[in-house]
Chains A and B, each alone.
Chain A
Amino acid sequence: MSRTYDVNDGSVVVVIGSGAGGGTLSNELAQQGIDVVCLEAGARLSLADFRNDEPAMAAKFNWTDPREGSGEMSPTRPTYICKTVGGTTTHWTALALRMAPHEIRGRTSYGAIAGTELIDWPLDYDELSHFYGLAEAKMGVTGTNGIPRHPANNNFKLLNAGAMKLGYPRSETANLAINSVARDGRGPCQQLGFCRSGCVVAAKWSTLYTEIPKAEATGHFELRPESMVTAIEQEADGRVSAVLYRNRDGELVRQKARAIAVAGNAIETARLLLQSTSVLSPDGLGNQNGLVGRHYMRHVFGRVLARMPGKVNMYRGIVQAGSLEHEAHHDPARGFASGYHIETVSMSPEGVARTLMPQEGWGESFADAMEAYEYYAGAIICGEDFPQASNRVTLHDSRTDQYGLPIPKIHYEKNENSRAMLEHAFGVVENIYGALDAEKIYRTPSGTATHNMGTARMAADEKEGVCNSNGRVFGVPNLFITDGSAFPTSMTANPTLTIVALAIRQAGFIRQSMVERAI
């Protein structure tokens, strides 16, 4: 029932990207009878292409186009996201956590934070909660809507036991967008442990096999994979009218549009806005205040690997089975604003090797440490990151990619608050593992980001952001931001649930605007 639309059909909504934001928005609009053309840079895989094989799957769906990192980012591999139908929902680890009420009013809750341009979200928490509920029902999040939670695996049992030994209360497994029971035509989790390689049993929610086929079934949706958008065209009245993209044969195609939503992940979204220049927008769409690409956030992030006295076999089962929320609150007495989650994470031998090598060096001590593979427990710290104007995505002035486009550059450095938070968090995680007699603990910062946010942020005041609370770009009435780019702060929560909730909310706004002939 998938439709095809003519490139000169200017009645369609063009959605750029098919991941959490773009895939969800596409389906929400198509369900309302609105015609959508979704342009996805990557190829379309099927479940039959998925393997329990990390490097093989990384080669199939990771975004490996050239990028340049600076500051604390890896110079050659600053991000770890996907270029495929379904976007990063193919390799996400399915933690579906809500933002906390104090986080939505960041500036009000925390006050001024040196070195940051902190603002409140221009949204009411109670209203957002309604959309969180819809997102959780759509994604089948455990611990919501009567869906049972998953049992704890070894890695989380251990983290939880260590925390309890320190006096923290018992935690349940996290709210996960992974079926614990059959639901929505998809089976339950088998504790495969390869969440990041594409879920071969489709127990994990991904737009690839939920939103996209559902949108196709409406007869109001066309997906065009391997279509890399190079520019959005703006008319003299401020409206956008078409997108230019390279199709799989490398040909340049112009697709007309009634409205355009950008959901390319915070790097590509900012990049596309910056390279879409017009008479009205000489510095890029929505960039009249020079804010596009700025305020890039990636969470205060660190990884801990702990060598325990007994076997853990952390690789068995759900990669991020649990998240400890004990330090997620705001308590300035700890010496920093906001807080962080402590989330389990597993690593393959290769991942452990790359973590240990910088600290053990090479040779016998490294090999001994590797041979204790079964004894490692793993966790990540995911803390709230605040916007800094100097952390930003820009276009390279000389290097271009295979499409002939300037490659994106990503600069990121922690501020004083983030440094204090990360130090505190590493200490707490070390205490947790130490309480169970960890033999050695490795702290690892990461120069590679999966959570990318803030580069086209929403704001109540047009001078402080790129879009409004509906994701509509200031000064461009029919252009929308539909991904983590729109986040004013990173929250402590992993971003996907909030991206989905905002996409559902935005779909209602776009529909209403069309009914009112505003777009």
Chain B
Amino acid sequence: MTLVVGGLQVACTGEESEQIAATGLDDAALLTLLRAAQLLLPHQRLATDVYRDAMLQLSDAMTNDARKKQAIEAGLAALNESASWLDLSTEAQKSTLAALESTPFFGTVREAAISGVYRDERTWQLLGYEGEASKFGGYLHRGFDDIDWLPEFGDAQ
């Protein structure tokens, strides 16, 4: 199926839909979290999958953590209190989300988004971080000292 979320197309395979169902969060809830993560860390060139995977991890974590689950449920209810949050304009979504900044919901989603998105190798590619070095013998011969724009000072190396 294909769902449209805040102007972004999200393709879900059948298998992934089952995965979503198994967490106890319905599609709309997961898409809401995904959209919140995108607004928190809006990297235009980053695949939607990266945000979705981060929120799927949060969804998994919720099943073993009653406090997280409660925080997420409360936040989802607050976001949708006066209107369907996903149907709002981007600006309206942002201001509704910003109003929840001091809630456990916001902190939980932000933490999951940061750890999920910035531990993801797809994000590293976007940022230019090369990560694991042991597989190619370290940066010893791969640019650990290749900075070339510094001023020189007399006997500079």
Q: Which residues of A contact B (CB under 8 A)?
A: 51-53, 55, 151-154, 157-158, 161, 164-165, 170, 189-194, 200-201, 309-313, 315-317, 348-350, 353-354, 357, 362-364, 366-367, 370-371, 373-374, 436
Q: A200-B134, A363-B42 are in contact. Are A371 and B151 (CB under 8 A)?
A: no
Complex Cα spacing A313 to B155, Å? 24
Q: Which residues of B contact A53 (CB under 8 A)?
A: 132
Instruction: Count residues on chain B whose CB falls below 8 Å from chain A CBs.
Output: 42
Which applies to chain B's interface (DSSP): helix, strand, loop or mixed? loop
Chain B residue at smallest Cβ distance from A365: B42
Q: List 27 interface pairs A-B (beta carbons < 8 Å), by A numbering.
A: A52-B132, A52-B133, A55-B119, A154-B146, A170-B155, A190-B134, A191-B138, A194-B133, A194-B134, A313-B128, A315-B130, A316-B139, A316-B142, A317-B139, A317-B140, A348-B129, A349-B129, A350-B118, A353-B41, A363-B40, A367-B41, A370-B41, A371-B126, A371-B127, A373-B128, A374-B128, A436-B151
Q: Are A371 and B43 in contact (CB under 8 A)?
A: yes
Chain B residue at smallest Cβ distance from A317: B144
Q: A316-B142, A362-B110, A371-B43 are in contact. Are A192 and B151 (CB under 8 A)?
A: no
Interface centre among A158, A201, A367, A436 (most CB of B within 10 A): A367
Q: Are B119 and A354 in contact (CB under 8 A)?
A: no
Complex Cα spacing A193 to B144, Å? 9
* CB < 8 Å neighbour of A353 from B44, B118, B137, B142: B118
Q: Are B133 and A152 in contact (CB under 8 A)?
A: no
Q: Which residues of A contact B130 (CB under 8 A)?
A: 315-316
Chain A residue at smallest Cβ distance from B94: A363
B152 to chain A, nearest CB (A): 8
* CB < 8 Å neighbour of B124 from A200, A201, A349, A367: A349
Q: Are A158 and B133 in contact (CB under 8 A)?
A: no
Q: Are B145 and A154 in contact (CB under 8 A)?
A: yes
Q: Are A373 and B127 in contact (CB under 8 A)?
A: yes
Judged by a CB distance under 8 angstroms, whether B11 is at the interface is no
B59 to chain A, nearest CB (A): 19
Chain A residue at smallest Cβ distance from B140: A191
Interface centre among B39, B41, B43, B133 (most CB of A within 10 A): B133
Complex Cα spacing A353 to B126, Å? 14
Q: A350-B118, A350-B119, A362-B40 are in contact. Are A165 and B151 (CB under 8 A)?
A: yes
Q: Which residues of A contact B7 (CB under 8 A)?
A: none
Which applies to chain A's interface (DSSP): helix, strand, loop or mixed? loop
Q: Mask for B145-157, Cβ within 8 A of A = 1, else 0? A: 1111111010111
* CB < 8 Å neighbour of B137 from A164, A190, A367: A190
B148 to chain A, nearest CB (A): 8
* CB < 8 Å neighbour of B42 from A315, A348, A364: A364
Q: Which residues of A contact B146 (CB under 8 A)?
A: 154, 313
Q: A349-B118, A350-B115 are in contact. Are A316 and B150 (CB under 8 A)?
A: no
Q: Which A-B residue pairs are the 3 nearest by beta carbons?
A: A190-B138, A317-B144, A310-B149
Q: A349-B123, A353-B118 are in contact. Are A193 and B147 (CB under 8 A)?
A: no
Q: Which residues of B contact A315 (CB under 8 A)?
A: 129-130
Q: A153-B145, A154-B144, A316-B142 are in contact. Are A190 and B133 (CB under 8 A)?
A: yes
Q: A192-B134, A362-B110 are in contact. Are A349 and B43 (CB under 8 A)?
A: no
Q: Are B129 and A373 in contact (CB under 8 A)?
A: yes
Q: Are A353 and B114 in contact (CB under 8 A)?
A: yes
Q: Are B151 and A52 in contact (CB under 8 A)?
A: no
Chain B residue at smallest Cβ distance from A366: B41
Complex Cα spacing A190 to B136, Å? 10
Q: Are A316 and B144 in contact (CB under 8 A)?
A: yes
B81 to chain A, nearest CB (A): 21
Q: Which residues of A contact B14 (CB under 8 A)?
A: none
Complex Cα spacing A317 to B137, Å? 11
Q: Are B41 and A362 in contact (CB under 8 A)?
A: yes
Q: Which residues of A contact B137 (CB under 8 A)?
A: 190
Q: A315-B129, A367-B42, A370-B43 are in contact. Are A190 and B150 (CB under 8 A)?
A: no
Q: Which residues of A contact B127 (CB under 8 A)?
A: 349, 370-371, 373-374
B4 to chain A, nearest CB (A): 22
* CB < 8 Å neighbour of A170 from B131, B143, B145, B153: B153
B86 to chain A, nearest CB (A): 18
